[in-house]
Structures are given as C-alpha cells and as structure tokens.
Amino acid sequence: MNNQVAIHKLQGNFWQTSAIYPGSQKRVRARFSSYKDVKKNEKYLKTLLADGKNPNANRKIGDLLELHLQKCPETKVIERKNVFIMFCERFCKTKICDLNVYDLKKWFRDIQKARDYSDLTLNHIKGNLNHFFYYLVDEGIIMESPLSQIRFNRNPPPKKPRVYLTVNEIKELLDNAKEYSPLFLYPFLYCLAHTGARRSEVVGLRWKDVDFPRGVLTFIETKNGTNRTIKMSPQLTKLLQGQPRTSSYVFTNPKGEQVGRSQLNRHIYAFKAHYPFHKDWQCHAFRHSFAYNNLKGGMNMYELQALLGHKSIQLTIDLYGQLLSEDVEKPSPYNF
C-alpha cells in the first residue's frame, strides 16, 4: 500500500481511493459518487506516488489560468471581467499548492464588501471560477476544487424589496413619460414595459434585429449568453415603426447616439423628480411587473421563462413562483 493506490467499492454506489500521501506519510481516503471520478483521482495519486511530490504544486495560478484560457476558449471564468481582474490581482502570483479555502473565502467577502455584491451574485461568481478549478481537477493538477468547501445562500432575500407595478400604474408612468420626454424616455420605457427585457438589452437593440414583416425582435447575446427572439405586440410595433432612424441603434439620445447608462439614469432621476410616484421604481421594476401582470393574466411559468430568457425554469419559479399563490383572485373553491 505504500507505493500503490487502492480502490474500494462502498455501499450506496460510492467509490473510495486509499493511499499513503507523500510528504506527510499519512493515509488519505477520498470518496466519489461515480467510477469515472474515482479513476481520475487514482491517476492523480499515482502521479504523486511515482514522483514523490506533485509536479504541478509550484506552478503559479496566473500560468495555469493562461493555460486554461488557451485550451478552453469557451470558458466562463472571464465572463465577469471585473471579477476576473480582481481574482488575478489577488492570486496570479500564488502557487497552486499555497491556495487554500480560507484565502478564497476572505477574497469573496472582500469583493462583496467592496462591490456590495449579494450572496446570489457570489454564487454566480463561484460558478464562473469553477470552470477553471474543474479544469485543474480534470488535468490532475489538483485533487478537488477548493471552491467545493465554500457555500453561499442560494436563495437569499433580495437586498431591496422588488417593486411591482400594476397595469394602471404602468399606464400612469408611461403617460407621464410621454408628456415629459416623448422622443427619448417614453419609447424606451414603453419597450421595457412591453417586452420585460433588461435595460441593457433594450439599450443594445439595433434596427437590424427588428423584423417588422415577421413581427419579432431579437435581443443579441443576452445575460445568459444566448440570443432571444420574441414577438412584438401591435402597440410596440406601431411605436417602433414611428421611431426616427438616426443610428444603427433603435433607442438613441437627443443627439442620435447610443444611450449611455449614466445619461439614461440622469433622465430617469429628473423625470422622477418632476413626476413623483408613490413607488420607488427603477428600470428593472418594468421586468418584474411584466412577469407579475402576465402571471396574474394566466400565463404559465414555461412561457414566462421563454420571454424573460432565463436559463432554467427553476430560476423563474424562484423569482416569481410565489406570485401564483399570492395573487390568485379566488383561492377558495367554495361559495358558502
């Protein structure tokens, strides 16, 4: 046993490796739920036993990241560029053998404090980084992802209560916007209300992605990485057909340029100051309200998932499932 790896079949369809770990001379055991995973671990341990040490232990994380990006160009580790940069700044010069769970936990809490991230966002960041660490596991560079020991709340309460607007409240806001800014803010908010799209999706909408003969528009490279095509309502079609085409973008500022985020925020703040409203709404409130009013109107969750562009039905249910019970007009089947 001092120079070999043993594999044991356990109860419940589990497998276990057992070997004397080099350096510490202690027996180590690892349990896996599949034969494929236990064979990967066996290969890794045999490399350690043959060399007496991990040949990759002194490799720096920055070098391994570069190798990962070369071999896996579709990786999601760089999906959040700012987070990827912060990860590199903290760990690129760290040897993979020196990386530990404590340092990673501290890094997550540091960026949460600096950027005001929610636990839900930290979960997404962890998922992106796992593409890199799972690659290291597959290559036999490490035994398991250090992120496997880090947990965040998967269903944390929203940091701010979601704002839902009724049909009448949406109409009131749009009427006020039409009076305040008929050529800029009104058409933008109108599109948000009729599509349930994210602000960034509407800002990036181009004329080439609007198909009037088919009555559809396409949001390109949305948050989940895919394109999403939806049908336009007759009212939205009429509004878009009346929009001036001064740019390749559908919604432009008064100078005919693509709308900037800060510029849009300034217009919204000025509009809200001019027309005070009893709910503190933001652009995303139109997306929540789109889901809320569609569910009240009888739309099922799978239809709503497709319109909102969620990757999984579970996400749609987690976000809006409670509305089905809260907003049923007649919850009792009895009339006595």
Coil, strand or helix at 216: strand
pTM of the predicted protein model: 0.61
Backbone angles phi, psi at 9, to 5 degrees: -90, 125
330 has a pLDDT exceeding 80: no
Q: What is the CATH architecture of 167-326? A: Orthogonal Bundle (1.10)
**CA separation, residue 238 to residues 82, 147, 175, 243, 256 (Å):** 39, 50, 16, 9, 20
Mean pLDDT of the chain: 86
d(CA 284, CA 155): 19
Residue environment code for 121-130, b if the CB has 16+ CB neighbours within 10 A, otherwise e: bbbbbbebbb
Task: Kindly state the helix (H) or strand (E) to which residue 6 belongs, with its residue range.
Answer: strand 6-10
Reading the block at residue 198, the tokens are 């994210």
Question: What are the backbone angles phi and psi of residue 230, rounded to the nearest 5°?
Answer: -130, 155
How is the chain split into domains, by residue range? 6-51, 61-149, 167-326
Q: Hey, what are 16's tokens?
A: 């276990």
pLDDT band at 50 (very low <50, low <70, confident <90, very high): low
Give the integer Cα–Cα distance in Å for 240 and 332: 43
Q: Is the pLDDT of residue 128 over 80?
A: yes
User: Which pLDDT does position 190 carry in this prediction?
Assistant: 96
Q: Which of 25-29, 52-56, 58-62, 319-323 has the highest mean pLDDT?
A: 58-62
